[in-house]
Amino acid sequence: MKYSKIPEVTIMRLSAYSRVLNEALDRGEKIISSKGIANLTGVSPDQVRKDFAYFGEFGVRGIGYNIVELKYNISKIIGTDRNWRVAIVGLGHLGGSLVSYPGFLTRGFKMVGIFDVKDIGEKYGDLYVEHIDDFEEIAKREKFDLGIIVVPREAAQGVADVMVKSGVKAILNFAPVMLDVPVGVELKNVDLSMFLEMLSYYMSLNN
């Protein structure tokens, strides 16, 4: 992972702020205070201000932040001011649910390829299931930026290799296994049980 000035936890919070800003816009609001953002995200107002200071966003004292401007600045930092082309491999229960995950498209991630080793030709929304063996060929046309892996652990490294070979620059891996990818390809592992474990930690403290 390369050096970057903004810590990963800040990026996670920026992502959460950005969601809250969208909701405020939907309600017709134009200005929001750091306290308002704090309330809606469960982060302290001080932390909100510190996070925005990373990119020189200070708002107007006693008034707050212009929501449209703030949202635009955050999306420029996170990189969601552009459209990323996403391919998903593995259409089991979880993979199938991710194809139509509503949060993706609205946040700049467009699903443009879905792959598996079975049910080839089956339709998900506007997309047809393609065989993983055709990934590289289809990638030439579809120019995938980002790949999501939702296959069994034994198959995950093979899929990652094909993605890397096909020019995918970032991989979100749901398989419970550490993958090898070359420098220059970003990898993020998601383990949903981690979230339960964090809750488990807090519940244990209470007991």
Binding-site ranges for a copy of itself (CB under 8 A): 1-2, 4, 6, 8-9, 11-12, 14-16, 18-20, 40-42, 77-80, 84, 86, 92-94, 96-98, 100-104, 107-109, 145-146, 169-172, 176, 178, 184, 186-206
> Which of 174, 198, 203, 206 is CA-nearest to residue 188?
174
**Cβ-based neighbour number of residue 152 at 10 Å:** 11
Contact 66, 31 (CB under 8 A): yes
Nearer to a copy of itself, 109 or 135 (CB): 109
Nearer to a copy of itself, 106 or 134 (CB): 106
Nearer to a copy of itself, 45 or 108 (CB): 108
Nearest approach, Cβ of residue 15 and a copy of itself (Å): 4
Nearer to a copy of itself, 37 or 162 (CB): 37
- Give the CB-side neighbour count of residue 56, counting CA atoms within 13 A: 0
Nearer to a copy of itself, 63 or 184 (CB): 184
Contact 149, 90 (CB under 8 A): yes
Nearest approach, Cβ of residue 134 and a copy of itself (Å): 24
Nearest approach, Cβ of residue 64 and a copy of itself (Å): 18
Contact 121, 115 (CB under 8 A): no
Nearest approach, Cβ of residue 133 and a copy of itself (Å): 25
> Which of 18, 3, 4 is CA-nearest to residue 48?
18
Cα torsion at 134, 137, 139, 141 (round to 10°)?
-130
